[in-house]
Amino acid sequence: MGASLLALSVFLLLNLDSDFSYTSPVSANPEGVEITYGSVLKLMHEKTKFRLHSHEVPYGSGSGQQSVTGFPNVDDANSYWIVRPQPGTSAKQGDVINSGAIIRLLHMRTRKWLHSHLHASPISGNLEVSCFGSDSESDTGDFWRLEIEGNGKTWRQDQRIRLKHLDTGGYLHSHDKKYSRIAGGQQEVCGVREKRADNVWLAAEGVYLPISGGDKSSS
């Protein structure tokens, strides 16, 4: 784990959004740390403990876009996502992320955004979740509203969260239904419009950037 986190720190030095000012990452995977824009993390599905994952394999149905799955192994580079704000806002790298904020998740390896739309997901027939676009190509299909469970006001690593897709109203969701043709026992990730126990996630492994400018809003 130490080597992979060091590699992530190097990645941050070389690949930060040009609209963000740089601040050195100071912590990796401490319990309860604030999650800020620009952080690189894995999202863990609370119920199954699988990580949100993508890779350069298109769906064989629906949109045909890059597939998104739940992955059982903790140590996999294709499960890292960069937290970015909605375009056109004043949010900058190192800012804390409030409950209700609209965020985007950029897949670190393939540089595509976590996306959803009205295509049916392959196994359950719910809303398909895919990866789409590029660093410079993003639309409202990439927008997710952060909903923190409980009384927290800002996103911390130990908080249970839901991500609600703005265009479709679907919550990022997974379950124990697995793909038979994808290696590694990967399970379906989809969108579901109701709040359920299966659409709760937690921030897991990653490199979390320090809060910028002394902004230490508490939850």
Q: Give the 3-state secondary structure of residue 187.
A: strand
* pLDDT tens-digit map of 172-183: 999 989 887 766
> Position 187: which residue type?
Q
* pLDDT tens-digit map of 75-100: 899 999 999 999 999 999 999 999 99
Residue 28's pLDDT is what? 46
Whole-number Å distance between alpha carbons of 9 and 25: 7
Residue 129's pLDDT is what? 98
* pLDDT tens-digit map of 116-125: 999 999 999 9
H or E segment to which residue 6 belongs: helix 2-15
Which of 157, 52, 151 lies closest to 105, judged by CA?
Answer: 52
Burial class (CB in 10 A: 0-12, 13-18, 19+), 198: middle
> Position 16: which residue type?
L
Q: pTM value?
A: 0.86
Residue 63's pLDDT is what? 95
CB contact set of 201 (below 8 Å; sequence gap of 6+): 43, 44, 45, 46, 52, 160, 161, 162, 163, 172
> Position 215: which residue type?
D
Q: What b/e sequence results for 132-152 when a residue is b if at least 16 CB atoms lie within 10 Å of its CB, and e otherwise?
A: bbeeeebeebbbbbbbbeeeb
Strand partners, 67: 130
Distances (CA, A) of 71 to 74, 134, 137, 200: 8, 22, 26, 16
Number of alpha carbons in the 13 Å side-chain half-sphere of residue 151: 1
Could you write out the DSSP letters of every residue in 118-147?
EEEPTTT-SEEEEEE-BTTB--GGG-EEEE
Average pLDDT, the chain: 86
Q: Which domains does the chain have, with CATH numbers?
A: 2-211 (2.80.10.50)
186 has a pLDDT exceeding 90: yes
Can you count the helices (H) and strands (E) in the chain? 1, 12
Residue 7's pLDDT is what? 54
> Model confidence at 205, in pLDDT bands (50, 70, 90)?
very high
